[in-house]
Amino acid sequence: MENREVILFAPQEAQRFLTRFGRDFELAGANDVPALLRRASAVSPRLSLILLALPGEESLAALEALGREEALRRVPVVVFLPDGALEERALRLGAYEVLLGCQSAAAMELRLARALAHSPCEAKARALQEQVRLGEERYRLIMEKSDGVIFEWDIGRDRVHFSEVWEQRFGHPAQMEHFLGGFDAQSFLEPQDAPIFRALLERVRAGAPYSEATVRVRKGEGSLWMRAGLTGLREESLHSAVGILIDVDREMREAQRQRRRAERDGLTGLYNKTTAEAMIRDYLDGEGKGRLHALMVLDFDNFKAVNDSYGHRYGDRLLVEVTRRISGFFRASDIIGRAGGDEFIILMKDLPGRVPVEERARELCGAFLQTSPGGQVSGSVGIALSTPQGGGYEALYEQADLALYEAKRQGKGTFCFYSGGLRREGAPSPKSDRR
């Protein structure tokens, strides 16, 4: 211990700034200016740095007192100030560096290392100078070569600092306080993505060495997809993290287009059979289990006659127009899909009762009369209501299919609810009667 170089600090609480230097230096503290001067004189041959974090004017008074001590004039003095109001005075009084409360922990550590590199203890200084040079070179290369936004998160103070491109490109402030603590109020993300980014921060704070997420960052009236990566910087304890936000907007939007093409019916734009059935099945087995829903199976009547009389192109236009009309009858949360040909499946979610289902079914049947030439095409609807016991998509579809068979048997152009007494006679599926 006697041969180690010394970093002197005041007050005792200032030791928190020096966590990463504790293994290489002896750390010595004082709580006032007289004690600081006594300790400094006692260890002056080994003194590498003095850190002052006393209340503003006291730090300036300590600077003046240190300047009057011949033996201490070569020792770099770093002053911590909560803001920049006294920064110019501190520099005029001989401070080598000024740390401001708005700076990140990583930036403060770099400045402290830079000051230590000018210590009168020359051997240690040369080694630190090389470390600082390499650190600054790495940082410069990262900033120059990266297309993304670098950000540093001081976990202890819950403060984040973004690189200049953040404000230039997105218009958001480069400095944010209460970053995790007040994260739900942050306005730089789309609301749906805020919990995703918050979870990323919490994983790193809990000890994960690295975490990654893809979120939408607001830009003007829109937003861009960005991939966020965050790495915890650990010395004796985790106190800061550094991250990068990389623009992946083009890739994400292309992936969304590809997914949409895979999920959607090419003619109507509705979900295709595979996607609609999977979504309905997942909802009935998961979030919607035990609640009241209605599964509708809608089928065109006499559609083959229209194709034969007017041609398949006209039939396709009719499908598109009917799809446009029926889509307007349902909520955004409901699921509508084209099951193939002239058959559609619809799940009405979370219903208060049977009445809204009857209203929608009447509107569906009426949509055909307003659209088809001379009323030649009508629509029949079979409806099955879920039960608290559930039964899954397959059981509900079979019931709706039986109800559709009954609607067609009654003369078409109407709707029918499933009841336990319905049976299909002769044919395995009402498709044999969908003409």
Distance CA 412, CA 181 (A): 61
Residue 259 belongs to a domain: no
Distance CA 108, CA 126 (A): 20
Residue 240 shares a structural domain with residue 98:
no
In a 3-state reduction of DSSP, which class is residue 230?
strand
DSSP E strands in 189-348: the ranges are: 210-219, 222-234, 238-247, 294-301, 335-340, 343-348
- Considering only 98-107, 223-232, 383-392, which range has the smallest mean pLDDT? 98-107
Residue 137 shares a structural domain with residue 20:
yes
For the domain that residue 383 is a member of, what is the CATH number? Answer: 3.30.70.270
What is the pLDDT, as a whole number, of residue 399? 93
Residue 1 belongs to a domain: no
> How many structural domains comprise the chain?
3
Residue 111 shares a structural domain with residue 168:
no
Residue 257 belongs to a domain: no
Q: Torsion-angle region of residue 373: left (phi > 0), alpha (psi -120 to 50) or beta?
A: beta
Confidence of residue 435 (pLDDT cuts 50, 70, 90): very low
- Considering only 24-28, 301-305, 323-327, which range has the smallest mean pLDDT? 301-305
For the domain that residue 46 is a member of, what is the CATH number? Answer: 3.40.50.2300
Amino acid at site 223: S
Question: Which CA distances in Å does 258 have to 263, 264, 274, 353?
Answer: 9, 10, 16, 38
Of 198 and 368, the one with more pLDDT: 198
396 pLDDT above the threshold of 90? yes
Residue 73 belongs to a domain: yes
For the domain that residue 166 is a member of, what is the CATH number? Answer: 3.30.450.20
Question: Which CA distances in Å does 43 have to 6, 75, 143, 173, 264?
Answer: 7, 12, 40, 44, 76
Domain stop point among 90, 118, 143: 143
What is the pLDDT, as a whole number, of residue 139? 54
Most confident of 83-87, 158-162, 307-311, 425-429: 158-162
Question: Which CA distances in Å does 91 have to 84, 108, 174, 192?
Answer: 11, 16, 25, 46
Domain stop point among 219, 252, 285: 252
pLDDT per position as a tens digit, 123-173: 455 555 555 555 555 555 555 455 678 888 888 888 888 888 888 889 998
Residue 178 shares a structural domain with residue 309:
no
Q: Give the count of beta carbons closer than 10 Å to the beta carbon of residue 60.
A: 20
pLDDT per position as a tens digit, 258-268: 877 788 888 98
Residue 282 shares a structural domain with residue 354:
yes
Residue 191 shares a structural domain with residue 77:
no
Residue 181 shares a structural domain with residue 212:
yes
Confidence of residue 401 (pLDDT cuts 50, 70, 90): very high
Average pLDDT of the segment spanning 362-380: 75
Residue 298 belongs to a domain: yes
What is the pLDDT, as a whole number, of residue 434? 44
Domain that holds residue 106: 6-143
Using the structure block, give the residue that is written with the tokens 């109800």.
403
Q: For the purposes of burial, counting CB atoms within 10 Å of the CB of 179, is it exposed (0-12), middle (13-18) or buried (19 or more)?
A: buried
Residue 39 belongs to a domain: yes
Tell me whether the omega of the peptide bond preceding residue 120 falls within 30 degrees of 0, making it cis: no
Most confident of 160-169, 194-203, 317-326, 419-428: 194-203
CB burial string 337-363: b at 16+ within 10 A, e below: bbbeebbbbbbbbeeeeeeebeebbee
Residue 53 shares a structural domain with residue 128:
yes
Contacts 24+ apart (CB under 8 A), 259-265: 265/337, 265/338
DSSP state of 403: H
Whose CA is closest to 339, among 285, 293, 279? 279
Residue 235 shares a structural domain with residue 181:
yes
Domain stop point among 80, 114, 143: 143
Q: For the purposes of burial, counting CB atoms within 10 Å of the CB of 427, is it exposed (0-12), middle (13-18) or buried (19 or more)?
A: exposed
Residue 197 belongs to a domain: yes
Residue 154 shares a structural domain with residue 133:
no
Residue 169 shares a structural domain with residue 221:
yes
Residue 13 shares a structural domain with residue 134:
yes
Q: Does the pTM exceed 0.85?
A: no
Amino acid at site 27: L
Residue 157 belongs to a domain: yes
Average pLDDT of the segment spanning 302-306: 78
If you average pLDDT over every residue of the chain, what do you get? 82
